[in-house]
Amino acid sequence: MKKYQPWVGLVFRLIVGGVLVFAGYLKAFNPSKAKMAVRAYEALPIPVANILGVALPWIEIGAGLLLILGVAVRYTSIFSGALMLLFIVAIGQAWARGLSIDCGCFGGGGQVEAKDTKYVQEIVRDFGLGLMSLYLFRYPTSRFALEREKVAHE
């Protein structure tokens, strides 16, 4: 198991980092849609939701880049884990309150018809990415990281 750990770490880094960069990229260049996606959760005051809608895609891109490059993995992975927890809570509260929205994770977002909601898939996906983040937090050393292993352990 120990032998495979750095390779597992590499795969998880690329999956979590790749998903974050991809998801951020899909939203970053349509700010009005991204703002709308955050507003549709009905969890934040409108001006705050609009600011978050603009900033979040770029924050995802930044965290994803650090994971892919393998720099400060311990900090970045706890951040991405916290982000996934936040997404799960946000989606869960929308579901529990009976809102019909798309999570807007990969662009899109906003109100959809009740039959088109995908809350279970969205939460399972974020939960999986969250678990991978936790693994990287616990075992931050991995193959092909830009940063040498000793530093990642600090």
Comparing CB distances to another protein, the nearer of 11 and 55 is 55
* Structure-derived torsion over alpha carbons of residues 75, 148, 59, 23, reported in degrees to the nearest 10: -110
30 phi and psi, to 5 degrees? Answer: -130, 70
Q: 103-142: which residues touch another protein (CB under 8 A)?
A: 110-111
What is the per-residue burial (b if ≥16 Cβ within 10 Å, else e) of 89-114?
Answer: ebbeebbeeebbbbbbbebbbeeeee
CB 142 within 8 A of CB 134: no
Tokens of 4: 């495979």
Q: Residue 55, interface with another protein (CB under 8 A)?
A: yes
19, 20, 23, 66: which one binds another protein (CB under 8 A): 66
Q: Of the two residues 40 and 84, which places its CB atom closer to another protein in the complex?
A: 40
Q: Which stretch binds another protein (CB under 8 A): 2-10, 31-39, 120-128, 134-142?
A: 31-39
Q: Is 106 helix (H, G, I), strand (E, B) or coil?
A: coil
Q: Mark the segment that binds another protein (CB under 8 A) among 3-11, 84-92, 126-134, 144-152.
A: 144-152
Number of residues located near another protein, criterion CB under 8 A: 31
Using alpha carbons, list the distances in angstroms from residue 51 to 39, 44, 83, 129: 10, 11, 17, 25
Among 23, 40, 88, 94, binds another protein (CB under 8 A): 40
The contact set with another protein (CB under 8 A) reads 28, 30-33, 35-36, 39-40, 46-47, 50, 54-55, 57-59, 61-62, 65-66, 69, 71-72, 110-111, 146-148, 150-151
